[in-house]
Amino acid sequence: MGIDSTDRGATPVVGNVLLVAVVIVIGIVLVTLSFSFLEGTGAPSAEASFEYEQTPVGLQMTATAIGTDVTVQLNDRTVATVAAGDAGKSVIVPTAPGDRITVVSQDGEKSVLVDREIDDRDEIGDFIADYTFEAGSGNTLFDRSGNGNDGGLHGDPDWLDSSLAFDGSGDYVEVDQFNTPVDRVEEFTVAVTYRTNDGSAKQELVEHKSNQDNWLLELKPCDNSQVPDNRCEGNDEYVPVFSVDQAGGTQDEQIFGGGEQSGTRQTLVGTFNGTGHTLYVDGARASSGEYEGDSSMGELNVGKDVEFDGDYLDGEVYEIRLYYTAFDDQQVRVLTDAMG
C-alpha cells in the first residue's frame, strides 16, 4: 500500500500550532498572575527626589523628580506641599539640629518617600540661638543651635512637657552673652511662641540689651497712633509689640500687632533688615516701621525686662529662635508653621 506524503507532512504542522497555542495560553496566565500579584502587594507608583542646599533660613529642598502630590513635614508638622509634576519647585524648611524632615505622599497610601534627620551644621540656617523648652529640667535652658548660648533660670519657673511656665512675679531666664563671632549685625529675626494667662498687663516676652542698643518683643497697651485702622479699643487692651532702638532711643520705633492674648497660643516674628522692621502675628504681617542702623548683640532676657525687675511674664513660652538674617513674608510663614 502506498503512503500519502501529503498526510504525513500535515501532522508536525498541526503539532507546532498546538504547541504555540499552549505557550500563548501559559503566557497569558503568567501575565495575569503577575498583575494580580503586584496589585495584591500594593506596588508603589509614587516617587519623589530632592536636592538640598543650605540657606540662612534653613534647608532648601528642590524637587528633581515628583510623581505624586506630597506634603513636606518638619517634625511631623506640615510646612509645604509640592504637586505632582512640579519638578524644579523649591521649598524652604527652617531646620534646626535634631529635626527630622519627612515627605509623605498625599494619596491613599500615605507613603513616606523621604525620611531625613538633620544632624549637621551645614543643613541648618543662620542660627544664633534656638530654645525649644521641651522636657527640660534643672536650672539651665540649653541652646539647640550649637553656639552654646545657654541661659540660666531665675526664680522658680516650671518645666512642662513642651514649655516653660512663668508665674508673673520673679521668674525669668537670662543669657549673659551671646557666643557669636560678630559684635554688631545689620539684620536679624527673632521669633517666639507663647501663651499668656493675663492679657491685661504689660509683660516682657524676650528682650535684648547691649550697651545702649535694645530690641524686644513684649505685650503692652495698644496705641491707636501706631496701629493700622485704629484697632485699639483703649489702653486696657494689651497687644504684641516689636521695638528696635539704637543708642538709647526713645522707643518711637515700636510697631504693634493684634490678636486675642489671654489663654491664646501665638507665634510672633520680628524681623529687621537694616532699614526697617516688621512684626508678624501667627504668620500674618501686622505692621512695619522704618528704622536704619545696626545693632550690637549681648545680654538676653526671657520673661522679664532687662533693665529693671518688672514686666514679668505670666504664662508659658514654647520656643524662641534668633537668626542673624532678615526674613521675607514666605519665610516667616514657613517658620511660623514649624514653630506651631
Same domain, 141 and 162: yes
What total of structural domains would you count in the chain?
2
pLDDT, position 262 = 86
The model's pTM: 0.79
Same domain, 166 and 133: yes
Q: Let me know if residue 14 belongs to a domain.
A: no
First CA to last CA across the chain, in angstroms? 100
Same domain, 60 and 138: no
Rounded Cα–Cα distance for residues 2 and 242 (Å): 115
Same domain, 142 and 209: yes
pLDDT, position 222 = 73
Same domain, 205 and 268: yes
For 59, residues 6+ apart whose C-beta sits below 8 A from its C-beta are: 52, 53, 92, 93, 95, 101, 118, 123, 124, 125
For 2, phi then psi, to 5°, come to -80, 155
Question: 96 near 338, Cβ under 8 Å?
Answer: no
Residue 149 CB: number of other CB atoms within 10 A? Answer: 24
Same domain, 176 and 115: no
Rounded Cα–Cα distance for residues 54 and 57 (Å): 8
Q: Last residue of a domain, which of 67, 93, 123?
A: 123
Question: 56 near 187, Cβ under 8 Å?
Answer: no
Tens-binned pLDDT, residue by residue, of the chain (340 aa) = 443 433 444 444 444 433 334 434 334 333 333 333 233 333 344 588 999 998 888 899 999 999 999 999 998 888 889 999 999 999 999 988 889 999 999 988 889 999 999 887 778 888 889 999 887 889 999 998 888 899 999 999 999 999 999 999 999 999 987 776 566 778 899 999 999 998 888 999 999 887 777 889 999 877 666 555 555 655 456 889 898 876 555 555 777 787 778 888 999 999 999 888 999 999 999 988 887 777 777 788 999 998 888 899 999 999 999 998 999 999 999 899 888 7
Q: Last residue of a domain, which of 123, 140, 166?
A: 123
Q: Let me know if residue 334 belongs to a domain.
A: yes
Q: Let me know if residue 216 belongs to a domain.
A: yes
Nine-digit cell string for 163: 514649655
Same domain, 170 and 105: no
Same domain, 111 and 131: no
Same domain, 196 and 305: yes
Q: Let me know if residue 10 belongs to a domain.
A: no
Same domain, 65 and 89: yes
Q: Let me know if residue 283 belongs to a domain.
A: yes
Same domain, 102 and 197: no
Q: Last residue of a domain, which of 72, 102, 123?
A: 123
What size, in residues, is the chain? 340
Q: Let me know if residue 38 belongs to a domain.
A: no
Q: Which class for 47: exposed (0-12), middle (13-18), buried (19 or more C-beta within 10 A)?
A: middle
Structural domain harbouring 248 = 127-339
Q: Let me know if residue 214 belongs to a domain.
A: yes
For 29, phi then psi, to 5°, come to -60, -45
pLDDT, position 246 = 62
**Residue 56 belongs to a domain with what CATH number?**
2.60.40
pLDDT, position 27 = 41
Same domain, 148 and 180: yes
Q: Let me know if residue 15 belongs to a domain.
A: no
**Residue 224 belongs to a domain with what CATH number?**
2.60.120.200
Rounded Cα–Cα distance for residues 227 and 223 (Å): 6
